[in-house]
Amino acid sequence: MYERAVKRLEDPELISALVTALLKAGYDRDTIENALIRQAPVDLDVLADCYERLAAAGAALHEAAGEPPVIRSSRAA
């Protein structure tokens, strides 16, 4: 069989762009994580940091607009 080198997703800018695009398309966090992990090995620390940065940016935008922050996740608390 053919062997190909599996590219690891570890670039913060690439992961952030992928997550942002998928969030804008309406996918939830679990779906995004599963999709990325199925495509290639993902640096989970970078992925978690990406979500933290996106959440902080979203909270700052809502605060500037005088609205309460919106947190969307399908994970149970």
The letter for the amino acid at 72 is R
What pLDDT was estimated at residue 74? 53
What pLDDT was estimated at residue 61? 77
What pLDDT was estimated at residue 76? 46
What pLDDT was estimated at residue 77? 43
What pLDDT was estimated at residue 1? 54
Domain segments of the chain as ranges: 13-65
| CB neighbour burial string for 32-65, b if at least 16 within 10 angstroms, e if fewer | bbeebeeeeebeeebbeebbeeeeeeeeeeeeee
* pLDDT tens across the length of the chain (77 residues): 556 666 889 999 999 999 999 999 999 999 999 999 999 999 999 999 999 998 888 888 777 777 665 555 555 44
